[in-house]
Amino acid sequence: MSPSLDLAPSDALPVKKGPRQTEQRKAVFEALMARADHPSAVEVFLRVKTRVPSISLATVYNCLETLAASGQVRMVNHEREPSRYCANLSEHAHLFCSHCGSVTDLPVHTPMPPDQIWYLPEGVTISQQEVSFRGTCAKCGQHPHSAAQAPPLPPHSRTAPLRPSPLPPI
């Protein structure tokens, strides 16, 4: 009866019941925005899965890749650990806690161009600045003897219905 069904013909993927890719991407983005704890892709997957049970890990990887490529999230790499993701786009460095493994955002007092912070040899151009520190986070510093493990996420702590997405079309 309705010849103009709203199915996107551009996707090679089979059209299935369930959230479309933009909605999945929105859910991934919101999972990152909800907590500033720099989760890995697998952790993002576990969080999003509570809201979008049909989502796959591969889809989460794809969404994260798209979000990172479009500059909406930052990929955070440290040593040989799996990449983590950061939705804080203001200028900041990362503190990697050598005690509990957490990653904390360290904002700058006053944003400055790199050549006012670092000595840059002549001819050097900075396209992206990534500063990281290794030390102990505030929690581990206050309770150095407690096994500082990330507290478990309370179930259904973020199960609010999806709000209109702040994402521009990609």
Binding footprint of Zn ion on the chain (CB under 5 A): 86, 88, 97, 99-100, 102, 105, 137, 140, 148
Nearest distance from residue 112's CB to Zn ion, in Å? 18
Nearest distance from residue 40's CB to Zn ion, in Å? 13
Tokens of 6: 């709203």
Nearer to Zn ion, 23 or 105 (CB): 105
Nearest distance from residue 4's CB to Zn ion, in Å? 44
Selection from 118, 140, 121 nearest residue 131 by Cα: 118
Nearer to Zn ion, 36 or 167 (CB): 36
> How does DSSP classify residue 105?
E
How large is the C-alpha radius of gyration of the chain? 19
List, in order, residues 6 or more apart from 8 with CB less than 8 Å away: 15, 20
| Cα distances (angstroms) measured from residue 80 to each of 36, 45, 93, 131 | 21, 20, 18, 17
Nearer to Zn ion, 44 or 86 (CB): 86
Nearest distance from residue 92's CB to Zn ion, in Å? 6
Nearer to Zn ion, 32 or 97 (CB): 97
Which contiguous run of DSSP H or E holds residue 67? helix 57-69
